[in-house]
């Protein structure tokens, strides 16, 4: 046990007794140590890149599993492990158990946190009972539970330090996001757009859980925390910019939820995240641009005030949530060195913006089968929509066929990676289209507020449902693409060893050459992988770790026992063959090279 907690007297000894005000400084220092993995994305910039190179493209073929750990929970394992010193921390889908595992003893359990949640929260979780991982800061592990509770656990003992309720599951509000620690605050988003829940991001004080601020996605300026200096594409948004784009009080049940990944630039002191779909999925019932759903936000973490916003899909007609990760990278954009924000949206366009100003620099399709829009107007930022593929354009109860991408997007929350060595982004994608039929629906708190029937399938002429691609965000060009039979629903990991790792829905951990995409290694884990790959060292040896456990939106049919093609918000039919290749299960697998 003494060895197991070496971390408290070595790499982060200063965390004991540290003040909340410098929790952010601790994380910045810890994240510079590639031997650990101290944030869900590895760093504040969401690069999911590791400078470790002991495992490289010449020897990765020798990788093999060295120990495993069963989480004891089925359904979708969509998060990933943290590694701090000699301890690994993982969380599970509902009921959101948290484990601290001893790396000195092949994952022996040091402590376990088992929250007691009301199981009635399960039916109001849109797309499986997933949890995207825990966060560390100020000597605490932070968990955002399904019932919206944010809990702070003592990292050494697992004891609850404080907890706070963020929302009301009886109204459809749930929690699936990974917290972000910034300075003396813990930031979390919310889920529930399919129940008419209004999206928000809330900052809690890291010491005691008291609320510091809350910023909504829609409503009056004092609620969405806009001021006179807030801009969109370099221009002032104007007073009550959101209210002008909703009919009456529709914004109050307008969605725009914030369940995706957040990033932070300490130099600019800005937090970046995206908002999701407006409610309902029937666009006929909510005329207008429905601001600020489907939007990238840049906010001051101290006050919550938005510096700039950019709405990618005004008046969303497809459920193209904008919650995917914002990757912060200093790259040349059309030849000019730029502090960039790169975002692969559900709508199938890869966006590159100036993260200081919000200026739109690049917007190109990263799946050539995208057909709902032809281009993005670089001056207005608006897509040129193709009416044939725009649900609601010919009214309700009309089936709009062969719309690409499907509602789960050309990429959902599964995070991409960026290598500063190559300047390339590595993107797990979906290759799926849909038929979409909107219908009238009424709002009742706590009941589904969807208003559309969907079926999903591969694009015409293709058999694969996914691709793993390399992307040049400075020019908006795809460099290579590896087809996969099913969507690539895991997060990617780029390493200095010239290797990129990702997982597949059938359960394979794969390693590919980051320059060419050539497959170098594969190993089939016990269940489909929708979790995020990470790497760390222990006693001088590099390891790769990944959670497998099929589920999420793509695997909801298996996870929840659904069989009708239109169930699971349309995903069940597209992925019905998945059960021929894998089964449910929650397992952590840790890999290494032979001694």
What does the pLDDT read at residue 27?
84
Whether the pLDDT of residue 50 is over 90: the answer is: yes
Phi, psi of 559 (to 5 degrees): -65, -40
Please check the confidence at residue 12 and state whether its pLDDT lies above 70: no
Give the pLDDT of residue 103.
Answer: 98
Q: Where are the domains of the chain?
A: 6-592
Q: What does the pLDDT look like over 466-490, one tens digit per residue?
A: 999 999 999 999 999 999 999 999 9
402 HSE (CA, 13 A, CB side): 8
Closest CA to 449 of 323, 278, 291, 243: 278
Average pLDDT over residues 500-514: 98
Mean pLDDT of all residues in 17-32: 70
pLDDT of residue 19: 44
Q: What is the pTM of this model?
A: 0.96
In words, the CATH class of domain 6-592 is mainly beta
The token duo for 454 is 């969907």
CB 487 within 8 A of CB 430: yes
| R_g over Cα of the chain | 22
Residue 64: CB atoms within 10 A of its CB come to 10
Strand pairing category for 185-188 and 180-182: antiparallel
Given a cut of 70, whether residue 531 has pLDDT beyond it is yes
Write out pLDDT tens, residues 431-466: 999 999 999 999 999 999 999 999 999 999 999 999
DSSP code string of 486-530: S---SBPEEETTSEEEEE-TTSEEEEEETTT--EEEEEE-SS---
Position 2 scores a pLDDT of: 36
pLDDT reading at 512 higher than 60: yes
Q: Is 364 helix (H, G, I), strand (E, B) or coil?
A: strand
Q: Is the pLDDT of residue 9 over 80?
A: no
Judge whether 552 and 530 are in contact, CB under 8 Å. yes
pLDDT for the residue 22? 62
CA pair distance 257, 275, nearest whole angstrom: 5
Of residues 380 and 334, more confidently modeled: 380
Exactly one of 257, 319, 435, 482 is catalytic; which is it? 319
Q: What is the pLDDT of residues 51-83, one digit of tens each?
A: 999 999 999 999 999 999 999 999 999 999 999
Q: What are the strands of the beta sheet with 140-144, ordered from one edge? A: 135-137, 140-144, 149-154, 160-165
Percentage of residues in the chain with pLDDT exceeding 70? 96
The model's pLDDT over 401-433, given as tens digits with 9 standing for 90+, comes to: 999 999 999 999 999 999 999 999 999 999 999
* Across 4-18, 226-240, 521-535, 536-550, least confident range: 4-18
Give me the chain's average pLDDT, please. Answer: 95
* DSSP class of 478: E
Secondary structure (3-state) at 385: strand
What confidence score (pLDDT) does residue 84 get? 97
Q: Positive or negative, the Cα torsion across 194, 197, 200, 202?
A: negative
Please state whether 86 falls in left (phi above 0), alpha (psi between -120 and 50) or beta. Answer: alpha
- pLDDT for 11 equals 38
Write the pLDDT tens digit of every residue in 183-220: 999 999 999 999 999 999 999 999 999 999 999 999 99
pLDDT digits (tens, 9 = 90+) for 105-136: 999 999 999 999 999 999 999 999 999 999 99
Q: How far apart, in whole angstroms, are the C-alpha atoms of residue 172 and residue 408?
A: 20
pLDDT digits (tens, 9 = 90+) for 271-325: 999 999 999 999 999 999 999 999 999 999 999 999 999 999 999 999 999 999 9
As a whole number of angstroms, the distance between CA 547 and CA 536 comes to 15
Q: Grade residue 26 by pLDDT with cuts at 50, 70 and 90.
A: confident
Residue 319: active-site member: yes
């Amino acid at each position: 046990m003494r060895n197991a907690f070496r971390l408290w007297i070595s790499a982060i000894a200063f965390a004991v007794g540290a003040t909340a005000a410098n929790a952010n400084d601790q994380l910045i220092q810890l994240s510079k140590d590639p031997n650990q993995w101290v944030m869900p994305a590895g760093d504040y910039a969401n690069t999911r890149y590791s400078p470790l190179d002991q495992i490289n493209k010449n020897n990765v073929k020798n990788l093999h599993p060295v120990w495993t750990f069963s989480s004891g929970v089925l359904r979708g394992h969509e998060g990933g492990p943290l590694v701090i010193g000699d301890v690994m921390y993982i969380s599970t889908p509902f009921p959101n158990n948290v484990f601290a595992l001893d790396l000195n003893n092949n994952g022996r359990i040091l402590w376990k946190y088992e929250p007691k949640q009301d199981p009635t929260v399960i039916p109001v979780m849109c797309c499986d009972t997933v949890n995207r991982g825990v966060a560390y800061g100020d000597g605490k592990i932070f968990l955002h539970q399904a019932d919206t509770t944010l809990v702070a656990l003592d990292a050494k003992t697992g004891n609850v330090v404080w907890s706070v309720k963020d929302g009301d599951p009886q109204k459809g509000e749930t929690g699936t996001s990974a917290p972000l620690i910034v300075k003396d605050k813990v930031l979390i988003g919310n889920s529930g757009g399919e129940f008419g829940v209004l999206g928000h991001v809330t900052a809690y004080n890291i010491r005691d859980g008291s609320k510091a601020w809350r910023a909504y996605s829609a409503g009056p300026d004092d609620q969405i925390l806009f001021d006179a200096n807030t801009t969109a594409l370099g221009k002032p948004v104007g007073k009550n910019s959101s209210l002008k784009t909703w009919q009456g009080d529709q914004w109050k049940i307008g969605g725009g939820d914030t369940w995706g990944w957040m990033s932070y630039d300490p130099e600019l002191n800005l937090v970046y995240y995206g908002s999701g779909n407006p409610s309902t999925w029937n666009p006929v019932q909510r005329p207008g641009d429905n601001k600020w759903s489907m939007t990238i936000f840049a906010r001051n973490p101290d006050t919550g005030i938005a510096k700039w916003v950019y709405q990618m899909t005004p008046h969303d007609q497809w459920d193209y949530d904008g919650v995917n990760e914002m990757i912060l990278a200093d790259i040349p954009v059309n030849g000019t060195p730029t502090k960039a924000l790169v975002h692969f949206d559900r709508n199938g366009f890869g966006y590159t913006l100036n993260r200081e100003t919000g200026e739109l620099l690049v917007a190109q399709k990263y799946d050539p089968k995208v057909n709902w829009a032809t281009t993005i107007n670089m001056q207005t930022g608006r897509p040129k929509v193709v009416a044939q593929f725009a649900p609601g354009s010919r009214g309700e109860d009309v089936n709009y066929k062969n719309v690409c991408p499907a509602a789960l997007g050309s990429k959902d929350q599964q995070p991409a990676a960026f290598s500063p060595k190559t300047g390339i982004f590595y993107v797990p994608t979906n290759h799926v289209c849909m038929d979409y039929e909107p219908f009238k629906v009424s709002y009742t708190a706590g009941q589904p507020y969807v208003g559309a029937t969907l079926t999903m399938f591969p694009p015409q002429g293709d058999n694969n449902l996914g691709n793993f691609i390399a992307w040049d965000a400075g020019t908006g060009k795809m460099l290579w693409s590896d087809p996969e039979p099913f969507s690539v629903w895991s997060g990617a990991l780029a390493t200095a060893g010239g290797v990129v790792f990702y997982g597949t829905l059938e359960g394979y951990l794969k390693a590919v050459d980051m320059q060419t995409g050539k497959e170098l290694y594969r190993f089939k884990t016990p269940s489909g992988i929708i979790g995020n790959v990470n790497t760390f060292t222990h006693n001088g040896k590099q390891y790769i770790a990944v959670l497998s456990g099929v589920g999420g939106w793509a695997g909801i049919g298996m996870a929840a026992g659904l069989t009708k093609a239109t169930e699971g918000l349309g995903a069940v039919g597209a992925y019905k063959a998945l059960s021929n290749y894998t089964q449910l299960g929650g397992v952590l697998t840790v890999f290494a090279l032979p001694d």
